[in-house]
């Protein structure tokens, strides 16, 4: 996946300012018996899009780890809307929908660039965690500004 400014089709409902990226579905991402992207891969895409979003403003996982903190997933809810096959060109958008003191909610949309059809929609809740204490911790002020919630 490469962070790419790609326009989200208006009918899909992502807000202006959402982080976007694109990639091609690889053969290794397909289910063994049914030749479409498997659900574990879709979950991986959702996680990777969130990671790239944070990388884009300097809050990489490596940096956060060195600072003794990390975002942990508390919940994912995924609606699978259409299949993705090897070679399909996909795009993803993600944006923060709410930001609390120690957590955030994020929306993610994956779509097929050629057809404009949604592959999946997801909502996720993430907790900001102090790694030494293994407890939720306050999101740093500098990072909060980069995580301002957007509305579709």
pLDDT of 13 strictly over 90: no
List the Cα angle 72/2/53 in 5-degree steps. 35
Question: Is the Cβ–Cβ distance between 89 and 24 less than 8 Å?
Answer: yes
Confidence of residue 2 (pLDDT cuts 50, 70, 90): low
Q: What is the pLDDT of residue 152?
A: 65
Instruction: Compute CA distances 106 → 51, 73, 85, 100, 146, whole Å.
Output: 12, 10, 26, 12, 13
pTM of the model: 0.93
Tell whether 79 is covered by a domain: yes
Average pLDDT rounded to a whole number, residues 23-27: 96
- Confidence bin at 9 (pLDDT 50/70/90): confident
Of 109, 98, 115, nearest to 13 by C-alpha is 109
> Does the pLDDT of residue 130 top 80, yes or no?
yes
Q: Is the pLDDT of residue 4 over 80?
A: no
Res 11: pLDDT:
81
What CA–CA distance (Å, rounded) separates 112 from 103? 30
Instruction: Report yes or no on 53 lying in a domain.
Output: yes
| Inside any domain, residue 114 | yes
Stretch 35-52: mean pLDDT: 96
Q: Which domain holds residue 119?
A: 2-146
Number of domains in the chain: 1
Token pair of 96 as six digits: 């923060």
Greater pLDDT, 75 or 16: 75
Whether residue 152 is contained in a domain is answered as no
Domain harbouring 34, CATH code: 3.10.129.10
Examine residue 151 and state whether it is found in any structural domain, yes or no.
Answer: no
């Amino acid at each position: 996946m490469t962070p790419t400014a790609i326009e989200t089709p208006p009918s899909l409902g992502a807000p202006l300012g959402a982080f976007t990226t694109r990639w091609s579905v690889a053969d290794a991402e397909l289910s063994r018996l049914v030749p479409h992207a498997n659900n574990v891969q879709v979950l991986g895409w959702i996680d990777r899009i969130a990671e790239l979003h944070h990388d884009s403003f300097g809050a990489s996982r490596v940096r956060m780890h060195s600072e003794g903190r990390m975002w942990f997933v508390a919940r994912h809810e995924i609606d699978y809307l259409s299949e993705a096959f090897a070679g399909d060109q996909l795009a993803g958008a993600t944006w923060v929908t709410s930001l609390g003191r120690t957590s955030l909610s994020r929306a993610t949309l994956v779509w097929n660039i050629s057809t404009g059809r949604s592959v999946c929609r997801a909502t996720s809740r993430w907790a900001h965690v102090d790694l030494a204490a293994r407890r939720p911790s306050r999101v740093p002020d500098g990072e909060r500004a980069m995580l301002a919630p957007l509305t579709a």
